[in-house]
Structure 1
Amino acid sequence: AMARVGEKELKAMPVKNALEGMQGKTAGVDITSSQRPGEVGNINIRGQRSINAEQGPLYVVDGMVIQNGGIENINPSDIEAIDILKDASATAIYGSRGANGVILVTTKKGKQGKVTLNYSGTVTFETLHDVTEMMSASEWLDYARVAKYNAGSYASATPTYEADKAAFGSVAASWKNIDQAWSNGNYDPSKVGSYDWASHGKQTGITHEHTLSASGGSDKFQGYASFGYMDQKGTQPGQAYERYTLKTSFDSNPVEWFKMGTSINASYSTQDYGYSFSKSVTGSGDFYSALRSMLPWTMPYDENNEYIRNPNGDVNIINPIRELDYNTNQRRTFRASASMYSQIDFGKIWKPLEGLSYRIQFGPEFQFYTLGIANAADGINGDGNNGAQYKNEQKRAWTLDNLIYYNKTLGQHNLGLTLMQSASAYHYEMGDMRATNVASADELWYNMSSAGTLKTFGTGLTETQMASYMVRLNYGYKDKYLLTASMRWDGASQLAEGHKWASFPSAALAWRMDQEDFLKDVSWLNQLKLRLGVGVTGNAAI
């Protein structure tokens, strides 16, 4: 079961990454988006596959398996097509890692002809619309009075000025919004004042993206190169993302029987993550949600425009309106992946070997990631002390495939055989240090030794290897009766002794009804086939 998203669909509207371009265009594939710039959503192919295990699909870019993350670092303008393998038979080709589905990405390559220079650019505007129905200030007070009365902390079953004053009057600036609703002992809920906290957590997000590319070549050599830049300002203050991408592709066919090529994708990004509540007990995860959760009758500042830390007097409800001034959360990522191949067609060297070819392909990957967090003492995360965190991660991986292809036609019989041997390795290392009571949050995470001692320090290392073998047979008779049989074996170093290997068999039969002689001249059948094809495509788009 396959679905395809081509270049036309990806460019139907401006998108920031390939996953956004796939949304709504592939049946059976659920893709969620993230409102935070630089973050991508989740993708599930045909629903949940497990309760606790990884749900994400396997990504294959230009024939090479990606072991470090997904495809969010690839400029959508550099993608030729995306194919999605949705059924379980994908494991027969890609092994255990294909259990959640496989996403095949084909990037652009050079084409024979004159060198062409192309530019594409977009500017998009985004706004945050909240359709959640929230309590008004007077509605919240009605609810709180009942709750407090039932708990024994509100003196009367009906509102009284004295009971309101005792329950809500500890902060003068906030109490004014309730006090103005009382007159001569009478309470008018329509006069309760409120403050629009959420308005400080929204802004117009502006994104501009630019891609400059060149393509061309001769019958012996084709090349493609592009440079992309994207700058995104989020719909919440403090959130931003900047990305640079570089794509190169070269293919050469110096002699008739030999060809080689390489494709490289690289990116560097900086993300301002924005407000994030770091305490483990409770708290909103983003600035807008933190503001929206504040009590509507409270005020962030007093009459002298002084900051009020606890707007209703409760020490557990802290005013977040200045948090962007107190916290810095920045992530930097450099990623590079490549696909390099060489292929020999033995049939063009020696006629008796016609149909036999050998291909070797190698895919290295690199990722360097740094996280820096600084929390000032006055902020919620600081909690009275200047704090800092610095985390560094390195990921390296490679995959080496050896493939033998044999394709032969004997009369009305077509035979195709593929043999593969593959080896891959993955390396991950990290260092993470955190400190409290550093000299100043203005120095960010660059002077953590000023704390005297580090709060925590951790390092980690993960190394795994995998070996794989695969055989695949395709047989066709009269281009009408088709058989496909596959078997793959995977061995993983992280599994226990005696249980390191697993096999994945698959077989499929097909009958092409339109190739039957007695049906070829039935015009209504051809029309029916066309109608069904259109119907399936339409459903996939929905």
Structure 2
Amino acid sequence: MRNLLKVTLTFSFMLMSIVLFAQGNVSGSVVDSETGTPLPGVNVVVQGTSTGVSTDFDGNYQISVSQGAVLEFSFIGFETQSISVSGDQINVSMIPSADSLDEIVVTGYGTQTRREVTGSIVSIGSESIEKIATGSGVDAIKGQVAGVDITSGGGRPGQNPVVRVRGRRSISASNDPLYVIDGIPQTSSTGDGAIFDINPQDIQSMEILKDAAATAIYGSRGANGVILITTKRGRTGDTKINYSGYYGVSSVTNIPDMMNGEEYAAARREAFRQDANSRYSYAGTIPNDEAVFLGDAAQLESIRTGRSFDYLDAVLNQGYQNSHQISANGGSESTQYNVSVGYFKEDGIIDQMDFERITGRVNLDHRINDTFKFGISMLLSNSVNNWGSSAVMSEALANIPIGKPYADDGSINFFAFNDGIRTNPLSELVPGAYVDERISTRFFAPIYLQVNLAEGLQFTSTFGPDMRFRRQGEFRDRFTNDNRGGPADAEVENKKEFGFTLENLVTYNKDIGPGNLKVTLLQSIQEFSSEFAKAEVQNLPYSSQLWYNIGTAEVKGNLSSGLSEWQLQSYMGRVNYNIDGKYLFQASLRADGSSRLAEGNKWAYFPGVSLGWRVLEDISPDNATFDEFKLRASYGEVGNTAISPYQTQGALARTVYAWNETPAFGYRLNDIPNPDLGWEISKTIDVGFDYSLLEGRISGAFDYYVTNTTDLLLARNLPYTSGYTSVFQNVGATKTNGVEFNVNAAIVESDKFSWDVNFNISGYNEAIVELALKDESGNPLDDAGNNWFIGQPIRVFFDYTKSGIWQLNEADQAAAIQGTDPGQIKLADINGDGKITPADRSVLG
């Protein structure tokens, strides 16, 4: 693999040659023809070449070009203009376009205009991302894209959002989408917060590829959708300094209604009713408080004095969030740059939980001449995440309000009442008592070399190294929920991740016959390795040392380390052809070879095809309601190997046994090898349409899709008597179908005020259609032990149906059917046999 890398890089740089042309400078300004407002960011390109610049903040530009050449001026929302060069000054007034179909959309390994797109792709611009106060760019698009569900992974600052594109397809393998940043598929594990390394203020656009025809170009990693993130680049013109920042507060909006002391005491007294035989019964009498509260002095004192304590109110505070970014961008005709430094800090709603991040970015593009261009997108990020104790919320919800949280001297009572199980959540918030600090440093620096081989023929070689270092240190003092008065313990884990992607891309673009042909060829290599080392100790001599001097601990605990590696090799070809801009066609085929799978099953092929018809180009009535109406249809296949490496191999685990009545360590079988493990394949059909009316003021799209996933990478639980816990196999199938609709409306547009309204709605059904178990006729059977049911979603609640409370006049029924008393929860007799048994359980949702 390393030799191949060296050969490829050598080939890339051997292609260099220098071609120089005698040219003169042409300058001018570009404005909006209706308002006269200067237009920054207008693309000024020499027709037939890739030489070009962009206008600066004041709409000015300067470009080196030969007399008689043609300059093309293009800008989103305006009509493209072509002007022949005759002189050294060209001023242009851009005419607003009647539609927004010239918007450039990143599609993966290339770009297309909105009018050319035949797949289900949604683009979100920087203006929609920057206005959301969040530390994650992915979190910023929540609610903006139909069919994309983004939910919080928890309440902690810096915690990853959970992203699902068109639902779930896999039962055991990952359902996370693939993230591609500046053209490089990510290797860093998103589960460890890698997506939080990207500053949202640095993002220029995000494209979400939803259907299989669009994601098939990413093969084995496109099964769960693809999110393309493009960061901001430089422009031609004087240096422009930008600052953006905000400060805000956060608070809990939906707090559970907890019992106060009086309510809890009344409920406990009712629960302690006893009959003459000392049996707890609804018809019994309430004993005295000494018996009800088991003689606990703290509870009896609270009842006597009317003391009531709300733990939720005590641990929940107001959170804070602030962000600051300063950036500089500009450049000459040949070199453009964008440099930024960002700071983000979020304090959680619970003390000892916060997230702090510093990012630095340098994006540089340099054109040597008309033949060669190179650039880099460098990110350096450092974050510190204080994770906090999970026991704070769990104990705040479980503790009773009539304990004694504080001693008479004002110190915290670790056990607020005589229970032995519940601990005081306030003890977790004592400074230094519970510390879980997670530090992450990341260096990500894709570099590219672009070579114009001939007119319309371009070669690009991209190398993207990605290094991430993580350190997690944990310390738990004596009086924490984990140790309950036992000795303090600490642990420290250091983890290093290194991955790289090397991709060689050839593109060809030429007008042929009645249309335009685009051909894309790709060769890609990706490698990733992750190693960790961890140490755990107990009984530290002093608490303030945390995990920094663990050699002084009295008890040396577990030592562990590990190494995980995987490789992926790929080839891809794609053809786009449109006829007169009316009939659109795209076909692609990708071949992936994955080291995670078994010999003989490592390679798989993923085709994709899509068609589009711009109806109004053929049918254009005089009083057409729509400006644009495009029909789309696509089919594609994608794979999923999102499981840990080495699943095809057997593994041993250390165990303890007796050797002549002496304890000894040995090894036992732990993982069952599966030499036949192969690809999980998803096949998707998508049909839909894009529309625009009222000169582009209203636009949107509709999609209907069906995805069938087969050969699931399924971790089947096994009986303990087998000696194993589970085994990965290719068994089972799922089906997902749904609809999506969105509408975007520009209500008011002016140079001083704008008002946009975006609405989207989507819905989908997911169902398991096949599992490992079948009856004698071959029909699939439920797997109740794993909570998997044919025809039901992948994750369900399987339980008894609660139909009410047994009443006093139903005492006989309660005893006969459920074996309980009035006042208890009534369970529904689903099968009607007159008894509540496990057979009465059902899927509740």
TM-score by length of 2: 0.58
Shift of 1:304: 4.0
Contact 2:465–2:500 at 8 Å: present in 1 too?
yes
Which residue number in structure 1 is paired with residue 565 of structure 2? Answer: 463
1:198 is aligned to 2:312: yes
Which residue number in structure 2 is paired with residue 62 of structure 1? Answer: 182
Which residue number in structure 1 is paired with residue 546 of structure 2? Answer: 444
**Letter paired with 2:239:** V
Contact 1:154–1:167 at 8 Å: present in 2 too?
no
Q: Distance in 1 between matches of 2:128 and 2:150?
A: 16
Shift of 1:416: 1.2
Q: Distance in 2 between matches of 1:154 and 1:193?
A: 28
Shift of 1:438: 2.1
Which residue number in structure 1 is paired with residue 368 of structure 2? Answer: 254
Deviates more, 1:338-347 or 1:498-507: 338-347
Contact 1:375–1:381 at 8 Å: present in 2 too?
yes
Contact 2:261–2:308 at 8 Å: present in 1 too?
yes
Q: Which has the higher helix share?
A: 1
Q: Write out aligned runs for 1:374-453 (5 A).
A: 374-383=475-484, 384-453=486-555
Structure 1 residues 308, 170: CA separation in 2 closer, same or farther (over 3 Å shift)?
Answer: farther
Which residue number in structure 2 is paired with residue 336 of structure 1? Answer: 443
Shift of 1:521: 4.6
Q: Distance in 1 between matches of 2:274 and 2:528?
A: 59
Q: Distance in 2 between matches of 1:428 and 1:367?
A: 9
Which residue number in structure 1 is paired with residue 458 of structure 2? Answer: 357
Structure 1 residues 35, 218: CA separation in 2 closer, same or farther (over 3 Å shift)?
Answer: same
Q: Secondary structure at the match of 1:536?
A: strand
Q: Distance in 1 between matches of 2:169 and 2:221?
A: 13
Structure 1 residues 258, 157: CA separation in 2 closer, same or farther (over 3 Å shift)?
Answer: same
Indicate which of 140, 156, 161 corresponds to 1:21: 140
Q: Distance in 1 between matches of 2:279 and 2:405?
A: 25
Q: Distance in 2 between matches of 1:141 and 1:67?
A: 55
1:317 is aligned to 2:422: yes
Q: Distance in 2 between matches of 1:156 and 1:541?
A: 50
Shift of 1:369: 0.3
Indicate which of 601, 612, 617 corresponds to 1:499: 601
Shift of 1:106: 0.5
Q: Distance in 1 between matches of 2:478 and 2:228?
A: 48
- The structure that has the greater radius of gyration is 2
Deviates more, 1:45-54 or 1:360-369: 45-54
Shift of 1:155: 9.8
Contact 1:195–1:297 at 8 Å: present in 2 too?
yes
Which residue number in structure 2 is paired with residue 510 of structure 1? Answer: 612
Shift of 1:234: 1.2
Q: Distance in 2 between matches of 1:93 and 1:226?
A: 32
Q: For 1:422-472, what per-residue CA distance to the aligned partner results, in whole angstroms no more than 9, with x for missing partners?
A: 001001000111111222222101221222442111100011111000010
Structure 1 residues 475, 300: CA separation in 2 closer, same or farther (over 3 Å shift)?
Answer: same
Q: Distance in 1 between matches of 2:228 and 2:173?
A: 22
Q: For 1:308-345, what per-residue CA distance to the aligned partner results, in whole angstroms no more than 9, with x for missing partners?
A: 33323111112221222221111100012122111111
Q: Write out aligned runs for 1:31-180 (5 A).
A: 31-33=150-152, 34-68=154-188, 69=190, 70-149=194-273, 160=286, 163-168=288-293, 170-180=295-305
Q: Distance in 2 between matches of 1:204 and 1:539?
A: 31
Q: Distance in 1 between matches of 2:513 and 2:373?
A: 29
Structure 1 residues 156, 15: CA separation in 2 closer, same or farther (over 3 Å shift)?
Answer: closer
| 5+ residue gaps, structure 1 | 181-191, 277-283, 348-353
| 5+ residue gaps, structure 2 | 1-119, 630-690, 701-741, 745-757, 763-845
Which residue number in structure 1 is paired with residue 358 of structure 2? Answer: 244
Structure 1 residues 153, 113: CA separation in 2 closer, same or farther (over 3 Å shift)?
Answer: farther
Indicate which of 337, 346, 357 corresponds to 2:453: 346
Q: Secondary structure at the match of 2:420?
A: coil
Q: Distance in 2 between matches of 1:499 and 1:91?
A: 21
Q: Distance in 1 between matches of 2:282 and 2:593?
A: 72
Q: Secondary structure at the match of 1:128?
A: coil
Which residue number in structure 2 is paired with residue 293 of structure 1? Answer: 398
**Letter paired with 1:409:** D
Q: Distance in 2 between matches of 1:307 and 1:173?
A: 14
Q: Secondary structure at the match of 2:416?
A: coil
Which residue number in structure 1 is paired with residue 835 of structure 2? Answer: none
Indicate which of 609, 620, 625 corresponds to 1:524: 625
Shift of 1:229: 1.0
Alignment length, in residue pairs?
Answer: 514
Structure 1 residues 452, 156: CA separation in 2 closer, same or farther (over 3 Å shift)?
Answer: same
**Letter paired with 1:408:** K
Q: Percent identity?
A: 34
Q: Distance in 2 between matches of 1:150 and 1:360?
A: 80
Contact 1:388–1:441 at 8 Å: present in 2 too?
no
Contact 1:154–1:163 at 8 Å: present in 2 too?
no
